[in-house]
Amino acid sequence: MSKPQQFAEDERDANASGNQAPAVANDILPDTLYVIPVPQRPFFPGQIQPVAINPQEWAPTLEAIAAEGHGLVGLSYVDQQGPDSVGPRQFPEIGCVARLHRPPGTTGPGQFLVQGVKRFRILRWLTDKAPYRVQVEYPRSTGDRDSDEVKAYAMALIQQIKELLPLNPLYSEELKHYMANFSPNQPSLLADFSAALTTAKGDQLQEILDTLPLLARMEKVLLLLRKEREVAEMQTRITSQVNEKVSEQQRQFFLREQLKVIQKELGLSKDDRSTDLELFEERMAALKPPEPVRARIAEEIHKLSVLETGSPEYGVTRNYLDWATQLPWGITSADKLELAHARETLDAHHDGLDDVKRRILEFLAVGAFKGEISGSILLLVGPPGVGKTSIGRSVADALGREFYRFSLGGMRDEAEIKGHRRTYIGAMPGKFVQALKDVKVANPVIMLDEIDKIGSSFRGDPASALLEVLDPEQNAEFLDHYLDMRVDLSKVLFICTANQLDSIPGPLLDRMEVLRLAGYIAEEKLAIARNHLWPRLLQRHGVSADQLKINDAALKTVIESYCREAGVRNLEKQLARIIRKSIVNLLEGGEQRLRIGKKDIETLLGQPVFHSEKLLRGPGVATGLAWTAMGGATLAIESSKVHTLNRGFKLTGRLGETMRESAEIAYSYVVSHLRDFDCDYDFFDTSLVHLHVPEGATPKDGPSAGITMATALISLARDERIKRPLAMTGELTLTGQVLPVGGIREKVIAARRMKIPELILPAANRRDFDELPAYLREGLEVRFARNYREVFEYVFHEHRLEKALH
């Protein structure tokens, strides 16, 4: 062993205090040591605590230390612990020499008790593999320990430790150990003890160990203690808050339980079961259910009285009774069966739709005569935005009934109509039982929107489930699967809406009375916009009628150039857009009032969507009338001779199968009767004829374009254009008969919209035309044709036909 060194640091402190610090003074320290890495945090002089290592990995090092005989070991802070991953480069320059008080294995597997003695600095590595042996020196702390500044720092450290004592009892145990072994007048050991007391990271503590100047070390330790105090205070505050919350909750729980017991003893309250039973019995006393329903509910109430409140069956039974006792068994509202009031309500809510209003008044008149409204289910069919839903609400207002609406669009689960079985988790009644529960009367107006968009899936067919609901002969005993009791729906007035009838199943459609809403002409739209849409939008946007006004010319421009749809929903959107932009102008321009005229519309809404259209004219061109789900429309049909090389017939325009058949029939009929129509007999034998319906991106189908296609082909063969604006509709047979078609109202509105003064309709549709309101028939010259010969005479030989008629 090399020459030993005398340990003198803090010796003067120990002698001055009169206390002998064990294993600190008068020790002879060797100049070579075996070093062992310690994880997590470094070891400090004066510190006594167990050190845990892996005995299998460091067994050779411990044997070498035991062979030395002095029981001293160098402890260095290293993050990595395995001997294979630790090398000389990982060890810091400064470490702590420590004395082994208990040999390894006596304090536990892999633990030995050591006491820190003094700092050491590694001068040279004697081995580069474990066991690691190094040559060391023992640096001393620098600075005057008797200076006032050092004393001030020492007092500050002691004060910080005192402030930590109430926050954590572990600090008290550490301080007792320090006071039992060291003097408070040793600033170097005080600084090291204070650093070891904190929970700082290993790198921060190693920085304290590396700092030899006393003042600098004490300053760094003081910062760590202050941070430790802040963390401890925060932890104490959080713990206190949590304890307060828990204590308050426990206090409230005990108080509530005591209150329940006291109220129960005094007879002021009852348990949950008694409360539920009284609630259901009180509800039943106010109802007038049929005897089977009363017996079933009484049975369920008795069942509830014997069930434990914590059992799952109790919750299921309680939910069932909650639904069953909230239905309005035998509770109805009085109907207002005054026709004058009903007519006033319908006229106040809607402009136009005179035929629909008349039919609703007839329906109400029957109810007034009979004394009750029942037995009929209305189906309102029309394009989007024509007011189907609002008419249903107006009917409810006219009758003074509650109104409930739900949409059937996209519904694919039969249980939505008839309810779930009670055995399923989350079972609920169907929509109709829910509606009765919400309106609290047995005779509301229930609107079934979008009945044409109902679907079907593996969950069942809701349209078939509606057959029982919408049948006046069956719905008096409608069976809901959840309630499993008969519910009387015969007093409910059902009003359904649809855009078209094609997708509604026949058995379901047969149970309803169809009322068609064809759409509005420009004059009706103007009245609706002026009387309903504009005032409602002003109120919705918070603008007074004096601040913002629009004249009729501007409204007509909006209707004709931006909103030619059959309904008024898009018109409402465009008017709302005008109001929004006008509000911006009011705020930015500083004006108090705005007046919107025709010239302002293009500035507010941009370029017009629709322009004034002219009918296509020329040889081979005819104008037809068509019905679509969006309302009526005009349909231009063009025919042209492509070449004279061979015979042929070509169709374009994205036509459906029905229209293609109509075109083939029209072609065959015209070719077989060329002489009757004064056409060149050889025209079609040597010509490839192309028949086209414009707007090819739009699918078109329907049996109403036969006579229009035949007229276009004859016009092409005669090389003669139709000399006056007219439109026609009707299906053609191979024998030349003109068959009736549907949608006459929509087609007449489309003709008026295009300002076509003359129409040709099938003779079988004369009644449909005569039933139209007078304002729709006014100004129109209508010809009715039984066969195509009459159509031909109307179109090409009008003067000759008039002579023949006279």
Catalytic residues: 704, 747
Run of H or E including 660: helix 657-672
Three-state DSSP string of 742-804: CCHHHHHHHHHHCCCCEEEEEHHHHHHHHCCCHHHHCCCEEEEECEHHHHHHHHHCHHHHHHH
CA distance 132 to 65: 11
Residue 379: burial class (beta carbons within 10 Å; 0-12, 13-18, 19+): buried
Count the helix, strand and coil residues of the chain and give each as a percent rounded to the nearest 5.
45, 20, 35
Q: Decide: helix, strand or coil at residue 198.
A: coil
What are the angstrom distances between the C-alpha of 11 and each of 74, 136, 634? 21, 20, 115
Q: Which of 34, 361, 144 is nearest to 353 (CA)?
A: 361
CA distance 149 to 245: 46
Nearest-10 Cα torsion for 615, 616, 618, 621? -110
Residue 422: burial class (beta carbons within 10 Å; 0-12, 13-18, 19+): middle
CA distance 427 to 316: 9
The answer to whether 330 touches 294, Cβ cutoff 8 Å, is no
Beta-carbon contacts of 700 under 8 Å, excluding residues fewer than 6 positions away, are 626, 635, 653, 654, 655, 656, 659, 693
CA distance 363 to 105: 103
Q: Decide: helix, strand or coil at residue 55.
A: helix
Question: Per the structure block, which two tokens stand in for 280?
Answer: 């259901």
Q: Decide: helix, strand or coil at residue 434.
A: helix
